[in-house]
């Protein structure tokens, strides 16, 4: 039973229940309409209390119904709200803890609202590129005034019910027994006899013109790529100028437009992709996680420090182990400095800083890792060093401890084989800066146990990371794909492009930073070292030497005052470099390539489709289990524009047939075998007119 009906003291108590957050699915909506109707005919009933069973009122639409016919089947939410609003007996929405989206819209349709003292309300639809489509843009301004309503609708952030008490949104904040308080309030409401409706109120607007102008100014930056905030304002403004019914019509029109927009599709994809990433096809969701009460981190360098911060931020104690005291001191000082910056900006108090630092036990002895439930190594990227470290921790770690490597390029199966417990070994590939970046690639070795994966996925949530599982391959999901992207960028330099043009073209597409500016920021020497190592491992490896030339010239990037661009001391602004541009032109001549003008559209396609094709291979090989996982890696770790939804969704939106044709064109124009050998999966899906994402 989604909705229960009981009569208490002459008040019909209608409780809807659809765990975990009482999403308003079809059964719940039907049940509410039915219960409200029943109460009209129930002679002993003088008023109705509508509330959510379990711990919340309602989180809004049921996301499991999204994109299914049930989502819009009658009674839809409009019909439910109309049934509530037109009740001949007063309806009191009793908001326990949370009313979001459709849940708040439903409450706004009631004649009265009461809330628990801790209740929060929000209209967060804008975050998935939509607007509240069940009257929220019309009723909320009438309930709480234009300025604050616009802020809530356009920003999507939750607001404490207590801030909206005193007749604005909530008629009463009920202390003590909530249901008893709500029922008592409903009896008083019945005695009053009135049936106040939010839709009949005037909007308290003040200088409406100024409020709308200010709201538009505030969204100007985001509005370049996201239409939803502007549509929210348009819908509210229409209702303010032309009345409730006309506003409702405009709200529906705007909602329908947004629903079809690529930006909303991208945002919804990211929203669902995040949830889907935590589900691993062959690991049942009820797999018990191992308890993690203490974490060991080995190496207090760039990554080890950031990794440590993640855990102490979440209240988990960390044992931080180094080989030398000075390295340990440097690592701890960097962590402290990071927190001090947060204290300065007001994000953290000085006490919080100290209590976090107190969670770190630093040591020069591996013996101190004995009690850790999870040990993550972030030592030098050399297999021999990893071997030494894993043999040591295998001898020390307690039974059942998870042994993780933060390696970005080494084979996790080889690392696991250094231990007698490969089933406990997993890759936890954090991204730099590890305390900031959302992405965590969880690298599943051949023998990694399912409960180890389940544990790491749970832990990732605790430390607020987006965890995506990758199989073992060179570069895992993200770096393997980015290698093809960078390769295309370098090829295009040889063919006629210059760093500034290539960067600008892809930044115009929406990337935060083009490949050359990015490389200058990270340090060109990192890739150089990897290329050198690979050339030794595989002497027949063929690659463009243009980036090596740059490094041979000492141009490692921002840190050396020059890379692909020139930099002035203390300034990160990239200035095109004549020296580098001349070097590029000379290199083209040397390699016998006639330079030509590259169109920006070609630059964008070659960079993005390089990602797409490698992504298709990654899917085909089962390195990623679904296309949305690849998109999550790119959205959270590589600055792929959110409004485009990730490389695989972008390819789906432009059409895989289009991608395939473009690849054929580039194969003919460049002779590059990368383009003439498209991934089998891409070829097959394109031929069938299908998509990567379902
Ligand atoms: P780093 O050089 O900044 O730090 C490595 C630290 O490990 C040093 O402080 C060193 O003293 C310590 N160390 C070395 N051998 C040790 C041992 N046997 N026992 C204890 N401590 C030891 O390196 P980093 O950039 O932090 O990289 C660490 C790991 O993280 C590497 O595997 C790297 O591939 C990976 N990674 C780095 C990045 C990045 O952007 N820097 C990103 C993802 C992953």
> Is residue 269 in a domain?
no
Test site for ligand 1: of 362, 380, 638, most ligand atoms within 8 A of the Cβ: 380
- Regarding whether 482 and 463 lie in a shared domain, the answer is no
Give me ligand 1 centre to Cα 303, in Å.
6
Q: What is the pLDDT of residues 346-358, one digit of tens each?
A: 999 999 999 999 9
375 found inside a domain: yes
Contacts by 525-532, CB closer than 8 A, 24 or more apart: 525/551, 525/556, 525/557, 527/486, 530/409
Residue 651 CA to ligand 1 center (angstroms) comes to 36
Q: Let me know whether 46 and 159 are in one domain.
A: yes
The preferred substitution site among 300, 301, 474 for testing ligand 1, maximizing ligand atoms within 8 Å of CB, is: 301
The response to whether residue 322 sits with its C-beta less than 6 Å from ligand 1 reads: yes
Q: Is residue 442 domain-shared with residue 514, that is, in the same domain?
A: no
Q: Which residues pair with 426 in a beta bridge?
A: 404
Range of the domain at 538: 478-688
pLDDT at 166 over 90: no
Residue 25 has pLDDT above 70, yes or no: yes
**Residues acting as catalytic residues:** 105, 125
State whether 515 and 453 are in the same domain: no
Question: Do residues 448 and 486 both lie within one domain?
Answer: no
Residue 54 lies in a domain: yes
Give residue 360 CA to ligand 1 midpoint distance, Å: 18
Q: Which atom of ligand 1 is nearest to the CA of 324?
A: 11
Q: Is 479 in the pocket of ligand 1 (CB under 6 A)?
A: no
- Tell me if 354 is assigned to some domain: yes
In a domain? residue 171: yes
Instruction: Please give the mean pLDDT across all residues of the chain.
Output: 96
Contact 175, 181 (CB under 8 A): yes
Which pLDDT score, from 0 to 100, does residue 403 have?
98
Q: Under a CB-based contact definition with an 8 Å cutoff, are residues 441 and 412 in contact?
A: no
Predicted model pTM:
0.93
The tally of domains found in the chain comes to 3
Q: What CA–CA distance (Å, rounded) separates 404 from 455?
A: 12
Residues 484 and 537 in one domain: yes
406 lines ligand 1 (CB under 6 A): yes
Distance between CA 103 and CA 50 in Å, rounded?
11
Mean pLDDT, rounded, for 112-125: 97
- Domain assignment present for residue 460? The answer is yes
Residue 600 has which token pair? 């920006």
- Give the residue from 211, 232, 258 where a domain finishes: 258
Atom 31 of ligand 1, nearest CA residue: 381
Which CATH number does the domain housing residue 417 bear? Answer: 3.40.50.720
Q: Verify whether ligand 1 is closer than 6 Å to residue 380 (CB atom).
A: yes
User: pLDDT of 581-618, one tens digit each?
Assistant: 999 999 999 999 899 999 999 999 999 999 999 999 99
pLDDT at res. 570? 86
State whether 445 and 495 are in the same domain: no
Does ligand 1 lie within 6 Å of residue 408's CB atom?
Answer: yes
Sign of CA dihedral 395, 401, 407, 409: positive
471 lines ligand 1 (CB under 6 A): no
- 278 CA distance to ligand 1 middle (Å): 27
The tokens of 326 are what? 């000075």
ipTM surpasses 0.90: yes
Q: Say yes or no: 487 and 388 in one domain.
A: no
CB of 586 closer than 6 A to ligand 1? no
pLDDT, one tens digit per residue, over 364-415 is 999 999 999 999 999 999 999 999 999 999 999 999 999 999 999 899 999 9
Instruction: Note whether residue 597 is domain-resident.
Output: yes
Residue nearest to atom 44 of ligand 1 (CA): 408
Q: Which of 202, 233, 258 lies at the terminal end of a domain, its last residue?
A: 258
> For residue 651, is it within any domain?
yes
For residue 653, give the CATH number of its domain: 1.10.1040.50
What CATH number has the domain bearing residue 217?
3.90.226.10
> What is the pLDDT confidence band of residue 223, given thresholds at 50, 70 and 90?
confident
E strands in 480-617? 565-566, 575-576
Q: Whose CA is closest to atom 4 on ligand 1?
A: 301
Domain boundary among 427, 452, 470: 470
Task: Characterize 415-434 residue by residue with b for buried, 16 or more Cβ atoms within 10 angstroms of its Cβ, and e for exposed.
Answer: bbbbbebbbbbbbbbbbeeb
Instruction: Report the alpha-carbon distance of residue 70 to residue 74 in Å, rounded.
Output: 8
Largest pairwise CA distance in the chain: 94
What lies within 8 Å, CB to CB, of 7 at 6+ separation is 13, 42, 44, 45
- The CA 391 to ligand 1 mean position distance, Å, reads 17
Q: What is the pLDDT of residue 444?
A: 98
Identify the pLDDT of residue 541: 81
In a shared domain, residues 564 and 455 = no
Q: Are residues 614 and 519 in the same domain?
A: yes
One domain, residues 648 and 531: yes
Task: Please state the length of the chain.
Answer: 694
Q: Do both 139 and 48 map to the same domain?
A: yes
Is residue 1 pLDDT above 70, yes or no? no
Long-range CB contacts (within 8 A, 24+) of 322-329: 322/298, 322/362, 322/363, 322/364, 323/364, 324/364, 325/364, 327/300, 327/301, 328/300, 328/362, 328/363, 328/364
- Kind plus residue range of the DSSP H or E element containing 246: helix 244-260
């Amino acid at each position: 039973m989604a909705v229960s009906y009981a009569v208490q003291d002459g008040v019909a108590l209608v409780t809807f229940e659809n765990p975990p957050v009482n999403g308003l699915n079809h059964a719940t909506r039907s049940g509410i309409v039915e219960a409200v109707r029943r109460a009209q005919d129930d002679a002993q009933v003088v008023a109705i209390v509508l509330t959510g069973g379990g711990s919340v009122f309602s989180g809004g639409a049921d996301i499991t119904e999204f994109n299914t016919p049930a989502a819009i089947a009658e009674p839809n939410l409009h019909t439910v709200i109309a049934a509530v609003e037109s009740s001949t007996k007063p309806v009191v929405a009793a908001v326990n803890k949370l009313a979001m989206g459709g849940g708040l819209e439903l409450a706004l349709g009631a004649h009265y609202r009461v809330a628990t003292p801790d209740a929060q309300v929000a209209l967060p639809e804008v975050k998935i590129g939509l607007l509240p489509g069940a009257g929220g843009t019309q009723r909320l301004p009438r309930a709480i005034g234009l300025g604050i309503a616009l802020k809530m609708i356009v920003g999507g952030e939750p607001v404490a019910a207590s801030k909206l008490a005193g007749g604005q949104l909530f008629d009463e904040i009920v202390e003590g027994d909530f249901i008893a308080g709500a029922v008592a309030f409903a009896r008083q409401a019945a005695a009053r006899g009135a049936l106040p409706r939010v839709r009949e109120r005037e909007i308290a607007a003040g200088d409406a013109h100024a409020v709308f102008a200010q709201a538009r100014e505030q969204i100007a930056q985001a509005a370049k790529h996201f239409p939803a905030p502007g549509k929210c304002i348009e819908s509210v403004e229409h209702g303010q100028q032309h009345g409730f019914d006309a506003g409702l019509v405009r709200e529906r029109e705007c909602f329908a437009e947004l629903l079809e927009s690529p930006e909303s599709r991208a945002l919804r994809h990211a929203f669902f992709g995040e949830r889907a990433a935590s589900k691993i096809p062959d690991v049942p969701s009820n797999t018990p996680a191992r308890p993690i009460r203490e974490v060991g981190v080995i190496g207090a360098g760039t990554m080890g420090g950031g990794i440590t911060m993640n855990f102490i931020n979440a209240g988990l104690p960390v044992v931080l182990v180094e080989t030398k005291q000075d390295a340990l001191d440097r690592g701890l000082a960097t962590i402290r400095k990071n927190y001090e910056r947060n204290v300065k900006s007001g994000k953290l108090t000085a006490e919080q800083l100290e209590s976090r630092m107190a969670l770190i036990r630093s040591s020069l002895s591996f013996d101190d890792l004995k009690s850790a439930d999870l040990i993550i190594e972030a030592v030098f990227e050399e297999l021999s060093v990893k071997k030494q470290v894993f043999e040591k921790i295998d001898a020390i770690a307690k039974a059942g401890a998870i042994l993780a490597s933060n390696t970005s390029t080494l084979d996790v199966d080889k690392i696991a084989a250094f231990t007698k417990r490969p089933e406990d070994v997993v890759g936890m590939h954090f991204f730099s800066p590890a305390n900031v970046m959302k992405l965590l690639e969880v690298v599943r070795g051949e023998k990694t146990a399912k409960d180890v994966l389940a544990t790491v996925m749970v832990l990732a949530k605790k430390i607020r990371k987006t965890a995506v599982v990758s199989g073992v391959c060179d570069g895992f999901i993200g770096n393997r794909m980015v290698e093809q992207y960078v390769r295309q960028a370098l090829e295009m330099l040889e063919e006629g492009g210059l760093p500034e043009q290539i960067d600008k073209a892809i930044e115009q597409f929406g990337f935060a930073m083009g490949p050359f500016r990015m490389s200058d920021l990270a340090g060109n020497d990192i890739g150089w070292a990897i290329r050198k190592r690979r050339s030794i491992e595989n002497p027949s490896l063929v690659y463009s030497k243009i980036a090596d030339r740059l490094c041979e010239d000492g141009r490692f990037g921002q840190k050396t005052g020059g890379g692909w661009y020139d930099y002035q001391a203390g300034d990160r602004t990239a200035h095109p470099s004549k020296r580098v541009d001349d070097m590029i032109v000379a290199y083209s001549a040397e390699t016998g390539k006639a330079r030509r003008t590259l169109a920006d559209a070609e630059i964008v396609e070659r960079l993005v489709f390089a990602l797409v094709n490698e992504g298709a291979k990654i899917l085909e090989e089962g390195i990623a289990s679904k296309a949305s996982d690849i998109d999550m890696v790119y959205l959270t770790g590589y600055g792929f524009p959110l409004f485009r939804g990730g490389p695989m969704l972008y390819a789906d939106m432009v059409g895989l047939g289009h991608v395939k044709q473009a690849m054929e064109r580039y194969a003919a124009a460049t002779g590059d075998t990368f383009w003439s050998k498209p991934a089998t999966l891409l070829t097959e899906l394109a031929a069938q007119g299908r998509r990567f994402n379902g």
